[in-house]
Amino acid sequence: MSYGDLVRLYFERSTALQWYWTIYVLVIGGVLAFSSLRQRGDTLRTALICILYVCFAYKNLGAIKDVTEQRVAVIQLIKSARPVNTDSVEAQRLRDSLEPTLVSPDYPGIRNFHVVTDILTVLMLWTMELRRKHIRELDESRKLPAGSAA
């Protein structure tokens, strides 16, 4: 592979990574929006949504891990590639400008951020469910006939 091909591959992997994060954010937004619009509480439905979300998050994190490792590998190849261009001064100037910008965050930090966000999303789902249950109990207690014990 040429140096240009490696740089192109790096940016293709970066675009793929960005798409995984975009899908992740959209799913979180969709799940929370769906849950917030539900009027009636349903513990079974909330549990099912949480299980499906956790399965999605697990697979999404795996894809993010794969692409992150691919980016790291491509960065190493880029830095070790020898320019085949005869104009080595120009090639070296381009390398000196480009290579410092080719960075990839460490995977443990990415994983920790993803897991914390997953936990917060599941907590929000259950908080909304408990809120619906609390509201339903308040509505039922207000409907008790006069003189009834609350």
Cβ-based neighbours of 99, under 8 Å, separated by 6 or more: 78, 79
Structure confidence by residue, pLDDT tens digits, 58-73: 999 999 999 999 999 9
Entry pTM: 0.81
Interval 9-48: pLDDT, tens: 999 999 999 999 999 999 999 999 999 888 777 889 999 9
